[in-house]
Each structure stands twice: as C-alpha cells, then as structure tokens.
Structure 1
Amino acid sequence: MLNFVARPLVRLVDRYLPDPFIFVIVLTIVAVAAAIGVQGQGPLSVVRMWGDGFWNLLSFSMQMLLVLVTGFMLASTPVVRRGLEALAGKVSGPGGAIVLVTLVSLLASWINWGFGLVVGAFFAKEMARQVRVDYRLLVASAYSGFLVWHGGLAGSVPLSIATAGHPFEDMTGVIGTGQTIFAPFNLAILAALFVAVPLLNRLMLPAERHSIYVDPALIEPESDSVHAQPRTPAQRMENSPALSWMIGLAGLLYIVDYFLRSGGLSLNSINMTFLVLAILLHGTPRNLLDSLEEAVKGGAGIVIQFPFYAGIMAVMVQSGLAATISDWLISFSTDRTLPFWTFLSAGLVNLFVPSGGGQWAVQAPVVIPAAQELGADMARAAMAVAWGDAWTNMIQPFWALPILGIAGLRAKDIMGYCLMQLIVAGAIIAALLTYL
C-alpha cells in the first residue's frame, strides 16, 4: 500500500526535482517579474534592489552554516559513535530497533539538526549491523527524527529572532525562546510527535517476507581517525591534545559564564557550545579538521543560495510586493487562523526553498506584517513558518541526502514511509498550532 501511494511521487521527484540552486534562480526571476508586473516598478530599479540586498544576510548565512558544521563535527566524535554502538546492543527485536532509532533521531535533531542527521544515519547503520530489521524503514525512521528540528534548540527561526541584531529586529524586536522553543504550544507539538512518530514507524514495520535486509558484514563500523606518527613540529602541533584541551576548556568556561549571566539561547550561543564540545571530544586539532572537511561538504548549498535569498528578500520588501502578499493573506485570515495558513504556505515554500533560514528570509516580510495587522501572536506565527519548513522535509529530499549517503540508499527507498510520516505529522502540527 505504501509503495502504491508513494510510487507516483517518487517518479515525480526523480524526474523533475532539480538541485535547490535552480529553484533559487527561478524564485529570483519570479520575484523580479512580480515586482515589475504587479508593483509597477522599473526593471533597472528592481535589479538595483536585488543587487544592493544581495549581501545583507552574510552574518546569518555564516550562522546557518555553523549550525550544520558544528552539529556534524560533534556527531562524528568517537565518544558519540561508541555510545551509539553500545545503545544498539541493548535491542534484540526489529520493532524495538525501529522505535529506538526513531527516538534517538528525534532527540538528536531537537538538540541540533546537523547533529541529528548524522547521528540518525550512524545509528541506523549500527543497528542494522546488530539487529535483523528492514533497512529501508530503519533509515526512514532515522530521517523521521528530522521532523522536530525547527522546534528544537537549533531551530533557525526561533534562534534568529532571539538574537540581537537579527534581520527583522526593527519589525519584531527580540523574541526570546521562552515564547517560541519553550512555549507551551511548541512543547505540546514536540511531545505529540515524540509519541506519534515512533508509534507510526513501528506500525509500518513490514512482514518478514516483504522486508529487505542487508548483510551485516557489508556494513563497516565507523572507525576513529588514524594518523601516521607525527614527524615534524607542525604535525606534532596538529596532533597535540594539549592544544585542543586549552582552547576547549577556555571555551567551556566562557559558555558556563555566559549562561550563568542569563545570556539565553541564540544562534551564536548554540554554535559556540557545539564547537567547543567538538573540539574537546575530538581530542586533537587534526581529528577536528578531518571531521570539518567532511562537514563542510553538506554546507555548499547554504554558501551559494543565501545571497540569492537576501536579494529576493530585498526585492519583496522594497518593491512593496511583500506588503501586497501580506494584505492578501490578511483578507481571509484571522488572528486565530493565521498560524494555520502560514504553516501550510511554509510547507509549500519549503519544497522550493529547502532551508529554514532561507525560507524565513523569504516569508518573514509577508508573515510579520500580517501578524501585526491582525494582532496575532508573533511568536506563534514565526513558529508556524518553522514547523511548515520542517514538515515537508519528509518529501523534500534535500536534507535526506546526508543520511542517504551514509546509509547507501536512494530517496525512493524511503519515500513511501516518509509520505505517511508527512500525513500524520501534518495533522498533529496544524491542529496544535491552531487550537492550543
């Protein structure tokens, strides 16, 4: 049944879904055309808006890149990998394996989305080595944890608006995480998903005759970095634990002092925490740099796409296009239903802008004025964008690529399961955003 439902979607994705960079070019063209055709702006004027705004998100782009990189580096430390190996050994049956992989991935993604993607993939592979269970569902379960990332500690939208100097501070001010990440409605969504997603994955476990297994001997365990004996002063410095511990402990002291001073969560504090932990747990600068080399491969899209998002944002705001779209949204929304419509629109936009930070840059100029005009809860409206972005990641394969690459599968191998997760999670999130 799952294969029947998902097969057309898989074919559509395989045939027509290009790299997200193509989408950002198309969105730029659409925004420029709308500013000229709908708002009556001159072509040269719009091109100037676009070019002048192109570099307005450099700080935000670097913050987003570091969320991914620091999370990846922490997930690849020997301590984390050995912990996953030991945890996998506690499970004996396929049902328990599915549930545990889902829960670990949910928790890891709630902590940091880069951390969650890598931990989920490593844990799924380790579980497949130790337990006989359908490999497709196991990897899909690992990816399903990604559903909660934007409501978690490293969520782009809530941390961005909690950081002083964020791009929309003049419109919203600084909104603390107590109103977003730790708000009762957000915690309720998280609690519901932590129950529903593992249960759904367990219920989708196929009968043994329909399952696909992998030979454990073909899955190599992750190994620690091994380097040749240092021979030069430079090599000895690169492999010196003392250097890592000195800078790591200094960073740890700063982090503790920062939170004792009630610094609160922000993109900078989260990135600093993960970077310091990665430095300490990798043990030497060389090990950290080896992990960094792997981590930055997944950040290429952020580097090239975010300047285009900044240009789109500038065109929308300065041409008046954002205000026009906001007025249209207000025409059929109320303060109660705005989060619902924002959630659905964010889910749609995410198919074309598969980046939480980039999506916020595009949608914030529309959502913020609408919330202000209707007197809606600004924090809830912002979290509706966040949850819409996270929701349709289940059928947007962009962020599944790291997990699929580590696991050795293709998107179509897990798409049927992800489609069911999309349906169930969407109903839960929409209901709680609107009525709680």
Structure 2
Amino acid sequence: MFKKFTNACVNVVQKLLPDAFIFCIVLTILVFATAMSVSGMDPFEIANAWGSSMWSLLGFSMQMALVLVLGTALATAPLVKKAINSAAGVPKTPTSAIVFITIVSMIACWLNWGFGLVVGAILAKEIAKKVKKVDYRLLIASAYSGFVIWHAGFSGSIPLQLASYTEDIGKQTAGAVSESIPTSQTIFSAWNLIIVIAIIVVIAFVNAQMHPSPEDTVSVDPKLLVEPEVNTTKPSTKTPAEWLESCPLLSILTALFAIIYLIYTYKTKGSITLSLNVVNLIFLTLGIIFHGTPISYVNAITDAAKSAGGIILQFPFYAGIMGIMTATGPTGQSLAGAISDFFVNISNQTTFPVFTFLSAGIVNFFVPSGGGQWAVQAPIVMPAGNSLGVSPAVSAMAIAWGDAWTNMLQPFWALPALGIAGLGARDIMGYCAIVLIVTGIIIGCGFLFLVPFMA
C-alpha cells in the first residue's frame, strides 16, 4: 500500500512538475496575482517590487554557486575521491544504500547545511556506481532529505542569531526579544533534539520503504557517471608558464594563506562560525591542497562550473518573488505578513507553535531564505507568542523548523544537489513529498506534545 502511494506521488510529480525554472516562473505569476488582492498594490507597484529585489541575492547566489563548484572540485581530487569511494562501499544492497545515505546526509546537514548538501549528493553519486539496482532518483532524494533538519542544527541561522543579542534583534522582533537566548533553549533543547533524532530514524526507514520494486527501479544513466579524462602525458620539456602551472609550491603557499587566516580568526574571536564563506574557504583550501598543482585545480573547477547554471538562472527570480512577498501597499499589509497574521489570529498558547510552524512552511515556499523569512515573520510572530505566554525560544524554533520543512518541495535549495547528480527537480520531488508529509507530522506532534511539557 505504501509503495503504491509513493509510486502515485512520483508519477504525479513526473507528469505535473515542470523544469525548475518553469516552476519558478509559474510561482512568480501566482505571487504577482495574489499580492494585488492582498496588499492593494497595482501591477506597476508589484512589478517595481519584483524588479527592485531581483538582484538582492547576488552575493548569496555566488556563495551557493561556489558551494556547488568548490565541493564538486574537491570531491574529484584523487585522495578525496578514494575516501568517498571507501565510504560508498559500505552499503551492499539497495535498501542499505538508501538508509546509509539518509543517515549520513542528515547528520552532515545538522552539523552544517552547506557541507551536508554537497557531501550527501557527491556520496550518493558514488554509491550509485557501486550498488547495482538501486534507484538513482530515490538515492539523490534521500541525500537531499537530510536538509530538512538543517535549521535545527549547528548552522541554523535563527537560533545562532538569537544566541548573540544585538539591538538589531530587538528591532527585528518588535521588542519581543530583549536578551540573548542560549542555544541550550533552542538547538540543544531536549524537545528539539528528540524531534531531530525521531526524524533521522523515521525518515531512514521511510526512504528505505519507498524503494521501487525491481521492475520500476530507475538506475543511474551511465553518462552521468563518466569521469572526465585526465591527460597524464608529461612533456619532455616545460616552458616557464607550464612550470608555474604544475608547481605544487604555489598551491601550498596559497593554502597556507587561508590556514593562517583561519588560525588568526580563531585566536582573535575565540571561535570560527561555519558560515557559507568559511565553508567555501575550507572547500577551496582543501581542493587546492589535494589537487596538488594549480592547473589541476583549475581544470577541476572548470569542469565543476558546468553544473551551476540552475543557480545562476533561477536565484534572481526567487529574489524577485521575495520582493513581492514582502512589499506593502496602501493597506500596510504584505502577502507574507497576511499569511502570518492569519495563523496568529487562530492560535492559542497550545496551538501557537504548530500554527507558526505551518505558516513558516507556507511562507518559505515563496521566500526560501532563512534570513528573509525571519525578517518577514519575526516582527509578527515573536510579539504574538509573548502575548500568549509562549517562550521566545519556541516561537523562533517554530519559524526555523517551518523554514526547513517545505524545502522538501522547494527546488530552490535542491539545485546544488541536482547539479551534482545531473537530475531535474521532477526526478526527486515525488519522493521528497513523502518526506514532507512524514516530517510535518513528526514536527507538528513535537510542538503539540513535547514542547508544552519540556520547553
């Protein structure tokens, strides 16, 4: 029965979900039309909000493109490839492969979302080479499913931001937060850790159960696994330019600069936050070291950059959607704000965390950025939670969980993994829809039954 339901979801998504860019355009049209009735803005004002915001994510787009490119280039280094191959050899059957990649991806994303997003997809691709008859679509979907817990982990932007109180936090929450909220009340709270562990265990089982029967299994396209040929022929003589290109000392010195910077940062600040920039610097440094020569790394980066097209094309459109969602018209109401207000108005102290989680999940579908979503919802949700007697830590984590939850149906975040895997959004979203339903139940029950007694 479960496999029939899964197959039905996969078939529906395969037929109805267009290419990720087409999906983005349809989403833009939908938000454009809805915002007119909610905010009272005319088409010209909404078009202005869209165009003015379209390039607001350029810095973030570059960060995400580098996560994909630098992570992929690192994975092609001989020593790293050997280590990944060893890890990929652990599972021996299709079912164990799905369980293994789900657990590894979940843990990696909980530690750091950027690291987990890339490592999970790369490892899944290597597993596909070794484990015969494993469904490649489900394998990549399982790797991406780990992303559902990122905002409840070490790199969760909302809980980390609240742990270091500034005046900006007070303004963002409309005065609802007046002091730091330690991570012991958010990331490392007992109720949050129980939800995380429950999701890891249950989703590993659910993903394994979704594996199609042999006749329905879609194996990996061999073309996706073809490694680029490396020219190992060494010329008898080298020009000065060729000598520099193959000089390991240049790679060592470049990597040394980055290592010195990281050491200096740790000494002066006492710690190093694994932001996207730091993760990319680590990927870059390790890639330079493990590729050995500058020209080898250049070739690896050139080859990896081919898969970044989806990010480059689509992220500006999502920035435009965010602009429409947050723009306010004559009514003083934005579309994102109206969604949040609706759920706040039907809540009480017990149901508020659940409804906040659901509203955050809906808003995230159109504003797929933790920072952007916090800016939209915090001024509404945090004061409302306080007035109902809900802990600010719980209100904030409800937003964080909602922000991560609907990523399972949002192609925005799947683009790096899809670029590495060589698949389209429709290939994995049918399976991710099941993950969305199951995790939604787990998280909702956690807020209803754990939080009232443990927060």
- Taking structure 2 as the reference length, the TM-score comes to 0.75
Q: Work out the CA distance in 2 between the residues paired with 1:404 and 1:26.
A: 25
1:153 maps to 2:159: no
Segments of structure 2 that go 5 or more residues without pairing to the other structure are none
Change (3 A) 1:352 1:73: same
Q: Work out the CA distance in 2 between the residues paired with 1:245 and 1:238.
A: 13
Question: 2:273 corresponds to which residue?
Answer: 265
Q: Work out the CA distance in 1 between the residues paired with 2:306 and 2:162.
A: 30
Q: Highest relative contact order (Cα 8 Å, sep 6+), 1 or 2?
A: 2
Question: 1:431 corresponds to which residue?
Answer: 445
Change (3 A) 1:333 1:212: same
Q: CA deviation at 1:199?
A: 1.5
List aligned pairs for 1:10-409, cutoff 5 A: 10-14=14-18, 18-20=22-24, 23-24=27-28, 26-27=30-31, 30-31=34-35, 34-36=38-40, 50=49, 54=53, 62-63=59-60, 65-66=62-63, 69-70=66-67, 72-77=69-74, 78=77, 79-135=79-135, 136-159=137-160, 170-172=171-173, 177-214=183-220, 220=225, 222=227, 240-259=247-266, 261-263=269-271, 265=273, 267=275, 272-284=281-293, 286=295, 287=297, 289-290=301-302, 293-294=305-306, 296-300=308-312, 301-303=314-316, 305-306=318-319, 309=322, 312-313=325-326, 315=328, 319-321=332-334, 327-409=341-423
Q: CA deviation at 1:341?
A: 0.9
Return the match for 1:7 from 4, 11, 22: 11
Count of equivalent residues: 428
Q: Work out the CA distance in 1 between the residues paired with 2:320 and 2:232.
A: 38
Q: Which digits, 9 at most, give the CA deviation of each residue in 1:44-86, with x for residues without a partner? A: 9x7799599849x95x762574255236513531244322211
Q: CA deviation at 1:327?
A: 5.0
The secondary structure found in structure 2 opposite 1:154 is coil
Q: Work out the CA distance in 1 between the residues paired with 2:272 and 2:333.
A: 35
Q: CA deviation at 1:291?
A: 6.7
List aligned pairs for 1:404-419, cutoff 5 A: 404-419=418-433
The secondary structure found in structure 1 opposite 2:413 is coil
Q: Work out the CA distance in 1 between the residues paired with 2:21 and 2:106.
A: 27
- Are the counterparts in 2 of residues 68 and 114 from structure 1 also a CA contact under 8 Å? no
Q: Work out the CA distance in 1 between the residues paired with 2:208 and 2:58.
A: 38
Q: Which digits, 9 at most, give the CA deviation of each residue in 1:295-343, with x for residues without a partner? A: 7535323345436635653538993547766554432223443221122
Q: CA deviation at 1:252?
A: 2.8
Change (3 A) 1:359 1:226: farther
Alpha-carbon RMSD: 4.3
Counterpart code for 1:203: Q
- Taking structure 1 as the reference length, the TM-score comes to 0.78
Q: CA deviation at 1:189?
A: 2.2
The secondary structure found in structure 2 opposite 1:76 is helix
Q: Work out the CA distance in 2 between the residues paired with 1:24 and 1:276.
A: 38
Change (3 A) 1:293 1:285: farther
- Are the counterparts in 2 of residues 158 and 181 from structure 1 also a CA contact under 8 Å? yes
The secondary structure found in structure 2 opposite 1:351 is helix
Segments of structure 1 that go 5 or more residues without pairing to the other structure are none
Change (3 A) 1:169 1:402: same
The secondary structure found in structure 1 opposite 2:328 is helix
Q: CA deviation at 1:159?
A: 4.7
Q: Work out the CA distance in 2 between the residues paired with 1:141 and 1:14.
A: 21
Q: CA deviation at 1:88?
A: 1.7
Deviating more after overlay: 94-103 vs 206-215: 206-215
Q: Which digits, 9 at most, give the CA deviation of each residue in 1:335-388, with x for residues without a partner? A: 443221122122223333344444444434433343344343333323323322
- Are the counterparts in 2 of residues 106 and 144 from structure 1 also a CA contact under 8 Å? yes
- Aligned-residue sequence identity (percent) comes to 38
Q: Work out the CA distance in 1 between the residues paired with 2:160 and 2:310.
A: 21
- Are the counterparts in 2 of residues 342 and 385 from structure 1 also a CA contact under 8 Å? yes
- Are the counterparts in 1 of residues 105 and 120 from structure 2 also a CA contact under 8 Å? yes
Q: Work out the CA distance in 1 between the residues paired with 2:114 and 2:81.
A: 15
Change (3 A) 1:122 1:340: same
Q: Work out the CA distance in 1 between the residues paired with 2:339 and 2:406.
A: 22
Q: Work out the CA distance in 2 between the residues paired with 1:181 and 1:234.
A: 51
